[in-house]
């Protein structure tokens, strides 16, 4: 079990079923039976996933007489968003470089390809640029 809160959150999110449960709860509270239905899973299996999510603080379980609905608590997801945000500049910079590279490649191709009219080697600027 990870010791720090963010590690516990990431660990809880490292499972597609648990992420699907969160996606369902983002639309509103649900009981264990409702949550189990789309996954063709036994109730104990779903309950185990819910316990992991609950320990990570990603869901809370209410107590209303016979019904114990699960609800999403978004605070840990905010921590995830805050953690990943500083890395955004890295993939954006990479996309910028990729775009510049592709534009350059395209320009080169257009320069090297003989035009339909036969004006090859005549360095034309591509249209609309």
Where do contacts with a copy of itself occur on this chain (CB under 8 A)?
Answer: 2, 4, 6-8, 10-11, 13-16, 19, 22, 26, 72, 74-75, 77-78, 80-81, 83-88, 90-91, 94
Q: Which is nearer to a copy of itself, 1 or 120 (CB)?
A: 1
What is the nearest approach in angstroms of a copy of itself to the Cβ of residue 37?
A: 22
Q: Which is nearer to a copy of itself, 62 or 126 (CB)?
A: 62
CA 47/CA 10 separation, integer angstroms:
19
CA 2/CA 4 separation, integer angstroms:
6
Q: Which is nearer to a copy of itself, 6 or 41 (CB)?
A: 6
DSSP assignment of 16-61: HHHHHHHHHHTT--B-HHHHHGGGT--HHHHHHHHHHHHHTTSEEE
What is the nearest approach in angstroms of a copy of itself to the Cβ of residue 60?
A: 13
CA 63/CA 16 separation, integer angstroms:
27
């Amino acid at each position: 079990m990870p010791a720090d809160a963010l590690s516990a959150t990431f660990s809880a999110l490292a499972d597609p079923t648990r992420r699907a449960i969160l996606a369902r709860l983002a639309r509103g509270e649900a009981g264990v039976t409702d949550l189990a239905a789309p996954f063709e899973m036994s109730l104990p299996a779903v309950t185990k996933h819910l316990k992991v999510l609950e320990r990570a603080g990603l869901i809370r379980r209410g107590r209303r007489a016979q019904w114990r609905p699960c609800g999403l608590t978004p605070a840990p997801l905010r921590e995830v968003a805050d953690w990943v945000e500083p890395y955004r500049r890295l993939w954006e910079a990479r996309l910028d470089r990729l775009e510049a590279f592709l534009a350059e490649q395209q320009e080169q191709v257009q320069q090297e390809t003989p035009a339909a009219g036969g004006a090859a080697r005549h360095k034309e600027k591509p249209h609309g640029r």
